[in-house]
Structure 1
């Protein structure tokens, strides 16, 4: 059993767990909205399970297969593993697993994201090596130019 599986097993005690693609997509959007995280940050598809342990702030999602998404405005490709986990609190995701940034011939795991960093329209993305970049929230827009309905509070683009 992997570390991630053990963590999910431990955190699933007392957690709300949801199954089914439609339910999971709606639930992850609801969770992100509650914690002021724009859901366009994680354009996941075919989600089969979502879990939230409110007492610890631990969330996880499982999708059918790994996915890759290019955020065209920042010229960055992000890789999403089958299982993604993190501890979430208001505008902050930490101990993130299952998400990597792909640049040239290598990829780096993203371990933390802070929304509203220095100003409401900034996102700080930190890799597991401690390297970070601050992005404008508009760089995470969907192809139609929206950030979905759960935008960060007080953002004017």
Structure 2
């Protein structure tokens, strides 16, 4: 367990049942008004949230790559993903990288600044950012089943 998680664990809600963990990850995204496919994690073994600090963490059995088909972007999710959350924002994000041409770029901040324009913005620790349609990050599984 990372030191950051350990420092926020006291007074946090922690879930370890895989079914409940998946449900809680989706509830979190809905609560902060983010697309439900933004964290397509599998085999989640722990979800924690400290309501006082806004800190959340999700642990999965192994790291995962996910391709967002609508925008052709490959994203990598580490075994541990952490962030401070608030309405339409995940800041100080760890454990998420996006493939840009030939290199993996760390994503540190995800925001939807204007819900009317339906754009989601991804920023790096260096301040570079890119925007995409928020619809590209909606759950894709439903479409694949059809």
Partner of 2:78: 81
Q: Is it true that 1:113 corresponds to 2:94 in the alignment?
A: no
Query: Mean Cα displacement is larger for which, 33-42 or 73-82?
Result: 33-42
CA contact (8 A) 1:108 1:128 kept: no
- The equivalent residue for 1:153 is none
Distance 1:140 1:124 in 2: 12
Segments of 5+ residues of structure 1 without an aligned counterpart are: 147-157
| 1:125 corresponds to | 122
Residues 1:19 and 2:16 are matched in the alignment: yes
Partner of residue 37, structure 1: 34
Corresponding pairs, count: 143
1:36-83 CA distances to partner (integer Å, 9 max, x unpaired)?
Answer: 122201111100000000000000000000000001111110000000
Q: Which stretches of structure 1, 4 residues or longer, exceed 3 Å deviation after superposition? A: 116-120, 143-146
3-state SS in 2 of match to 1:62 = strand
Determine the structure 2 residue equivalent to 1:8: 5
Alignment-derived partner of residue 44 in structure 2:
47
SS in 2 for 1:39: coil
Q: Is 2:12–2:51's contact at 8 Å kept on the other side of the alignment?
A: yes
Alpha-carbon distance in structure 2 between the residues aligned to 1:114 and 1:145: 25
8 A Cα contact 2:119 2:133, kept in partner: yes
Q: Distance in 2 between matches of 1:104 and 1:38?
A: 25
TM-score by length of 2: 0.91
Verify the 8 A CA contact 1:87 1:96 in the aligned structure 2. yes
* 2:134 corresponding residue in structure 1: 137
